[in-house]
Structure 1
Amino acid sequence: MRVGQGGSGPGAQAPDGSQVEMYELAEARGEDELIDAAIAPGSSILELGCGTGRITRPLLTRGHEVVAVDESAEMLARVRGAETVQATIGELRLGRRFDVVLMMSYLVNVADDAERLRLLRTCAEHVLPGGSVVIQQQLPSQLARPVVLESEHTRMEISDVEHLPGNKVAATLTHTRDGQSWSQRVLTQNLTEEELSSQLAEVGLRLDEYLTPNTAWVRARPI
């Protein structure tokens, strides 16, 4: 089962169930600052799973060159200023390499080892020698229990949490903004450092460092 498979709410949905209109309304929450601080000025970036360009736009503003990849034509139609490629991540082969390959949104936590290897192999195939693969991973605490998270503009409820064998967890995420609600059922797998390091090594990458103290952001490099 793919992360995010199955969703409901107004507007178009991506093949994985992600709601296009919801992502169009979402803003960067400091991710661009973290990424910018970790890479060289004017880096070439391959952004895997760019969605509607929530992080693409601020990275372009910061002077980086971004190629934005997503499997959803509806998502890509919202991206402005970057070269876009419609493709599934596991099958992407551009024949080009980049200073940075960026894979956020907990895509690495897909609850299927073979699919995760395909994603990581795409990262390895597209990063320059000496370059960085920057990965955002889910923390075990994030879907540990039902909770409601509220900010100035949005409300997110995590409900129907199921802890499953193999360090997997299923939950329903409901986002509400401006009187509209979108729900999505997700199935993810929390990864130990040993598990992530092992799969990185299998595709020719090594875990180089954590970019945040909580280990949510990882930098890997070619071996």
Structure 2
Amino acid sequence: MKNIIITGTSRGIGFELTQLFAKNNCNVLALSRNSEPLNKLALKNVSTLSVDLSNDADLQKVTAFIAKNWKTVDILINNAGKLINKPFEELSTKDFMEVYQVNVFAVAELTKQLLPFFKEGSHIVNISSIGGVQGSMKFPGLAAYSSSKGALLTLTEMLAEEYKEQGISFNALALGAVQTEMLNEAFPGYKAPVSAIEMAEYIYNFALTGNKFYNGKILEVSSSTP
């Protein structure tokens, strides 16, 4: 059984991903501030931890769980995200820090703490946004979010280079519009062509097999604008 860690599992894509992996004979550690939605499902093979990814003490709960129960991690999906939608002139440094803390710094810190548990063949999948891709269409109000997702893409490329000799793969998926609560926060009333479960199925397959074909790559997964 493969050991999978997924962040941002209380809703949307992360919630659906957890169920997919669990139903396909994988051990899943689901991380989110709110574990209640998954706990209600009582899924076999799923362990939940209520964690604040910006809190080092909470991250240590994750490594303690892995050390005690799994010893190794096959796949890490950094799916948690923070979005603040404000005109640029209203964005404070605090707003930028809140967004970057979840979308960049927490990804870096969690990945760093899990390095001892990765092995040859482990795959880290960072969920970014098409808005973070250079040259893509940009939208007012998303300066903090889109710039943080651009930083995540560069971080992915760097980590792939640093750990390629160990056989640990890092890739990023730059997602377009998916019908989630977060999309509604960014574009109220917009109807996306892709549902959360459809995107979760794509990410599920990519996480399992994408590292056979890609490392340090940014894949744009978008059929629409936004």
- TM bin, normalised by shorter chain, reads 0.3 to 0.5
TM-score by length of 2: 0.46
Bigger proportion of residues as strand = 1
Quick check: which one's helix share is greater? 2
